[in-house]
């Protein structure tokens, strides 16, 4: 797998690097960012947190705004931030912000024209970790986290692949996409009209039916403009209680949907993951 380094910046004794590579899964060139803590400078392999971003974002938003590098350096955790969708002139797109480029929803599309490129689930679960683990001094100890659409992706992917992740966390996740406008629009386009297929990508449905568990932490701001219509944390909470799933759902008065919210609690999330990654 050939990758090209696009940028490199030293940060808290480690390195933030940005790369591009050809994705066979997505049939296009893709970009990702990685933060390698100081502990990765020798022969030691460090665990990895995969961060999935939300609608309209790229690999850059979290790395530039969340302020995660200091804690990651102290804890010895690498962070990998992929893009949120396939990119390129030949990739299908939509005029709206919540479908197409920047809005991959971390599913494997089955409907044309989206199925030519939009296989973000396979990319995040299989191709990208294989590339990261073959290229950088990281171990196979993985955690996953994300925000909004990326929070949906992180929870859903961990629930479907409990053997691959030590822990999962999310900020303001789209918790019940089969029952919200964002999810219904994306799933109908990418997956067609069979709602049963949608349920395979819904964290609240998956959590209620989970046979294995992954320790989960979710933070939700109470002043989030998308809370009632799009995010629906109450569905995730109900599923966790019905299944007795190890989910800690925390609500925070006054916080909104922005990266100010993420930056306020990202250190606690990293420490949460570090605990399980070290076991």
Q: How far is CA 77 from CA 122, 134, 205, in A?
A: 23, 17, 30
**Can you give the residue range of the structural domain that contains 22?**
3-277
- Block means of pLDDT (10 residues each) for the chain, 279 residues, are 93 98 98 97 91 98 98 98 97 98 98 98 98 97 98 98 98 98 98 97 98 98 98 98 98 98 98 96
Parallel, antiparallel, or unpaired: how do β-strands 14-23 and 3-11 relate?
antiparallel
Closest CA to 1 of 120, 131, 119: 131
Query: Of 16, 147, 152, 257, which residue is the catalytic one?
Result: 257
Per-residue model confidence (pLDDT) at position 41: 85
> Known catalytic residue: 224?
yes
Q: State how far the Cα of 17 lies from the Cα of 52, in Å rounded to an integer.
A: 17
Per-residue model confidence (pLDDT) at position 114: 98
Which residues make Cβ contacts (< 8 Å) with residue 44, sequence separation at least 6? 137
Query: Of 85, 145, 148, 172, which residue is the catalytic one?
Result: 148
What DSSP character marks residue 227?
I
Per-residue model confidence (pLDDT) at position 43: 77
Parallel, antiparallel, or unpaired: how do β-strands 247-252 and 216-221 relate?
parallel
> Known catalytic residue: 148?
yes
Query: Of 83, 219, 224, 237, which residue is the catalytic one?
Result: 224
Q: What is the DSSP string of 141-183?
A: EEEEEEETHHHHHHHHHHHH-TTT-S-EEEES----GGGSHHH
Q: What CATH number is given to the structural domain containing 241?
A: 3.40.50.1820
For residue 188, give the 3-state DSSP assignment.
Answer: helix
How many structural domains is the chain composed of?
1
Q: How far is CA 200 from CA 104, 117, 156, 203, 221, in A?
A: 16, 19, 8, 8, 26
């Amino acid at each position: 797998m050939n990758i090209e380094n696009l940028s490199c910046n030293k940060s808290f004794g480690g390195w933030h690097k940005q790369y591009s590579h050809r994705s066979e899964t997505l049939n296009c060139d893709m970009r990702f960012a990685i933060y390698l803590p100081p502990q990765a400078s020798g022969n030691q392999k460090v665990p990895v947190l995969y961060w999935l971003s939300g609608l309209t974002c790229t690999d850059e938003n979290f790395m530039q705004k969340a302020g995660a590098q200091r804690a990651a350096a102290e804890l010895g955790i690498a962070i990998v931030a992929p893009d949120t969708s396939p990119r390129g002139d030949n990739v299908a797109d939509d005029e709206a912000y919540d479908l197409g480029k920047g809005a991959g929803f971390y599913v494997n599309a089955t409907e044309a024209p989206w199925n030519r490129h939009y296989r973000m689930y396979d990319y995040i679960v299989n191709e990208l970790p294989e590339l990261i683990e073959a290229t950088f001094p990281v171990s196979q100890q993985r955690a996953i986290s994300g925000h909004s659409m990326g929070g949906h992706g992180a929870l859903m992917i961990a629930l479907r692949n409990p053997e691959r992740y030590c822990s999962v966390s999310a900020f303001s996740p789209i918790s019940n996409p089969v029952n919200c406008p964002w999810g219904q629009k994306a799933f109908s386009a990418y997956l067609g009209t069979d709602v049963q297929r949608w349920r395979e990508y819904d964290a609240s449905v998956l959590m209620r039916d989970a046979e294995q568990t992954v320790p989960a932490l979710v933070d939700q701001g109470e002043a989030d403009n998308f809370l009632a219509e799009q995010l629906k944390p109450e569905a995730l909470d109900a599923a966790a209680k019905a299944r007795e799933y190890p989910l800690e759902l925390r609500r925070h008065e006054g916080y909104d949907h922005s990266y100010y919210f993420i930056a306020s609690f990202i250190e606690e999330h990293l420490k949460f993951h570090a605990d399980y990654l070290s076991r």
